[in-house]
Amino acid sequence: MDKLSTIKSETEALLTKMIDKYTVEVVDDGGIFQVIIKTDEEVSTVIGRHGETIRAIQKILEVILYKQFGEAVEILVNVNDFREKQKERLEILTSEYAEKTQTSHNPSFIRNLSSYERKLIHEFVTKNYPELTTYSIGEGRERRLVVDLKTNTPVSA
């Protein structure tokens, strides 16, 4: 069984335990497998509060697939275009923090982000704000993303 069909069948097996009506499509995007889930009735069940459930589904699938293939399989689970909407929301938020940093000349701190969200913000700032930089400080639940002027000295954790 190839990776695409295995990822699809394992995703369907997991979703069947959670919701009744859905479709699953798996696309190989340069070694990262996009798991695209569409559902009409039970979106909040699959996405969860602030995307917690979608991240949990992704992690569980990664563990299942590692056991199946004996190697890490990079996947990104997306439900009803949640990732696109999430990216758009993060870009608006980041623009606000970037403008605040540029005006005050002080670093801005964004809390409660997943590693994926931090990565999106790093990329957005790099692309759109050449005079700014981003970096992460802290560990675990205390981890924060810092938006700062490149000319400032990084804040220590």
Q: What is the CATH number of the domain that holds 102?
A: 3.30.1370.50
Residue 1: pLDDT band (50, 70, 90) is: low
- For the chain, what is the mean pLDDT? 92
Taking the C-alpha atoms of residue 11 and residue 13, their distance in angstroms, rounded to an integer, is 5
What would the mean pLDDT of 4-10 be, rounded to a whole number? 96
Q: Is residue 157 part of a domain?
A: no
Residue 114: pLDDT band (50, 70, 90) is: confident
Residue 50: pLDDT band (50, 70, 90) is: confident
Q: What is the structure's pLDDT at 155?
A: 64
In this prediction the pTM is: 0.75
Taking the C-alpha atoms of residue 10 and residue 26, their distance in angstroms, rounded to an integer, is 11
Q: Does residue 74 share a domain with residue 16?
A: yes
Q: What angle do CA 17, 83, 130 make, to 5 degrees?
A: 155
Q: What is the structure's pLDDT at 126?
A: 95
Chain-centroid distance of CA 26 in Å reads 17
Q: Does residue 74 share a domain with residue 10?
A: yes
Q: Does residue 89 share a domain with residue 72?
A: no
Interval 59-75: pLDDT, tens: 999 999 999 999 999 99
Q: Does residue 68 share a domain with residue 9?
A: yes
What would the mean pLDDT of 9-30 be, rounded to a whole number? 95
Count how many Cα atoms sit within 13 Å of the Cα of residue 121 in the half-sphere of its side chain: 30
Outline where DSSP puts E strands in the chain: 23-29, 32-38, 75-79, 108-111, 132-137, 144-149
